[in-house]
Amino acid sequence: MSSNPETPLTHPATSDEPLDLAGIGIGPFNLSLAALAHPLSHLRTAFYDQRPAFHWHPGLLIDGATLQVPFLADLVTLADPASPWTFLNYLKTRERLFPFYFAERFHIHRAEYDAYCRWVSESLPSLHFGHQIDAVRWNPERETFEIDYTQLGADGEAEALGRTHARNLVLGIGTTPHIPVPLRPLADAPAVPVIHSADYLDHRDRLLAADHLTVIGAGQSGAEIFLDQLRARPAGREGVHWLARTPAFAPMEYSKLGLEHFTPDYTRYFHGLPERVRDTLVPTQWQLHKAIDHDTLAAIHDELYRRTLHGGWPDATLTPGVSVRTAGRVGTTKVELHLDHTQQGTRSRLTTDAVVLATGYRERRMDTLLAALDPYIRRDAAERPRIDAHHRMVLDPAVTGSLYVQNAETHTHGVGAPDLGLAAWRSATILNNLTDTTPYPLPTRTAFTTFGLPQPPAPHTRTIPTQGSTLVPRH
């Protein structure tokens, strides 16, 4: 597939002619879907986001920080390398192909990925920023989803109300920063800086001014923030402490066969497992996606080692295997953390001047947005929406439209759900299913590993691929 990015097609929604697909949220995943939908001229789409423009984790665009996936995991390449919205075409339009070629970078800077996505977002006519979605309903008379929105001005204030209709919806509303319960009262009171890593750059100078800083969380963000603070603080007076619940500051599983857990093959295998098995499996796979890349760990050790060259040890403490039981303020300028050590069974206290919570993200709750659809949503034993193999919520048959989700299906599709490397494949899967054709043929096999044993067909039956299945191409 290919298209000229200079002459995009657009199909504005009207009250009389519903959209084929409306997207809520414009992060990388729905941006991928919009880019792959762009050349499908028969498809009427619109995507909405309340932000004024695209930005990808702006608080974590630390100088030198890179993606943990290769540049081929852009918005479109793994589904359509000939798309005009590839990262390589972005470099071409910026006359940067030769510098990139000689740089020999497989993992690009986060800031560069953010700039690439913004380039795509500024070129697609189906994207509507400054639109806050207020409610979603199913209209049985029109057989469409009814979407109410508020159009926002540049200052974020409401300017107009609107409504559109769509035969199908896709939710890409992203994740929200997670603050552990013991630390929420501290984060709500601003006297001492206790901030989530998502806002790190906005507070970096204030954190550098703190005599003692504690970073909580042993994922990639925590490691990058610890390293950034360490490098910027004077030798011998670093005053940084890094805490982690995990038993070690562990490296990301980055072996080539290990990475096959982020293939469509594994996603299909995981989806076919019993619910109780899936729920047990996900927490054990944290090193696949919540650990630290080898280069960052090496850079931290190199920086610590460099500070011992003239004798002595840096004033930096790294303590894994620790959880924060409670926390409180000491006067008006300090925080006291009450710590439990899991393996020792011991307790201690740590007084600090500032805290960075690199405690990750959680899937954003959809309860309020989808309140009117709740009676139609089929749920599992844990009251989570059931999601089918095509990334659709399982709804009451009375709803004839499809409600797709992006990055809200870890419980049904596994650790690959939030991974950028599966963005293009999932977008193509959704478009193939939505159009009931194959605008994007997908491979039948993507891994050398065979996950699970083949299951024989039931006696006296034969297996017939379901229309729309990503296991076989359509005809």
Residue ranges of domains in the chain: 21-174+364-435, 177-252+291-360
Percentage of residues in the chain with pLDDT exceeding 90? Answer: 85
* Predicted confidence (pLDDT) at residue 413 exceeds the cutoff of 90: yes
Query: For position 200, what pLDDT does the model report?
Result: 97
* Predicted confidence (pLDDT) at residue 445 exceeds the cutoff of 50: yes
| Whole-prediction pTM | 0.91
* Predicted confidence (pLDDT) at residue 378 exceeds the cutoff of 90: yes
* Predicted confidence (pLDDT) at residue 114 exceeds the cutoff of 90: yes
* Predicted confidence (pLDDT) at residue 469 exceeds the cutoff of 70: no
The DSSP secondary-structure symbol of 182 reads: G
pLDDT band at 466 (very low <50, low <70, confident <90, very high): very low
Query: For position 304, what pLDDT does the model report?
Result: 98
* Predicted confidence (pLDDT) at residue 155 exceeds the cutoff of 80: yes
Which single residue is written with the structure tokens 């002595």? 312
Which single residue is written with the structure tokens 């500032």? 354
Q: What is the pLDDT of residues 309-354, one digit of tens each?
A: 999 999 999 999 999 999 988 888 899 999 999 999 999 999 999 9
* Segment 365-376 mean pLDDT: 92
* Predicted confidence (pLDDT) at residue 148 exceeds the cutoff of 50: yes
SS3 62: coil
* Segment 176-189 mean pLDDT: 84
pLDDT band at 183 (very low <50, low <70, confident <90, very high): confident
Query: For position 368, what pLDDT does the model report?
Result: 87
Q: What is the pLDDT of residues 264-320, one digit of tens each?
A: 999 999 999 999 999 999 999 999 989 999 999 999 999 999 999 999 999 999 999
Q: Give residues with Cβ within 8 angstroms of 219, minimum separation 6.
A: 290, 291, 292, 358, 360
Cα 221 to Cα 126, 227, 289, 293: the distances in Å are: 32, 10, 12, 11
Which single residue is written with the structure tokens 């009375």? 398
Query: For position 7, what pLDDT does the model report?
Result: 38
Angle at 353 between CA 348 and CA 357, to 5 degrees: 75
Around 237, how many Cα atoms within 13 Å sit in the side-chain half-sphere? Answer: 7
Query: For position 465, what pLDDT does the model report?
Result: 44
- Average pLDDT of every residue of the chain: 91
8 Å CB contact between 178 and 360: yes
* Segment 74-98 mean pLDDT: 98
Percentage of residues in the chain with pLDDT exceeding 70? Answer: 93
Query: For position 5, what pLDDT does the model report?
Result: 44
* Segment 219-230 mean pLDDT: 97
Query: For position 184, what pLDDT does the model report?
Result: 85
Query: For position 467, what pLDDT does the model report?
Result: 39
CATH code of domain 177-252+291-360: 3.50.50.60
Task: Indicate the CATH number of 21-174+364-435 among 3.20.20.70, 3.40.50.720, 3.40.50.11030, 3.50.50.60.
Answer: 3.50.50.60
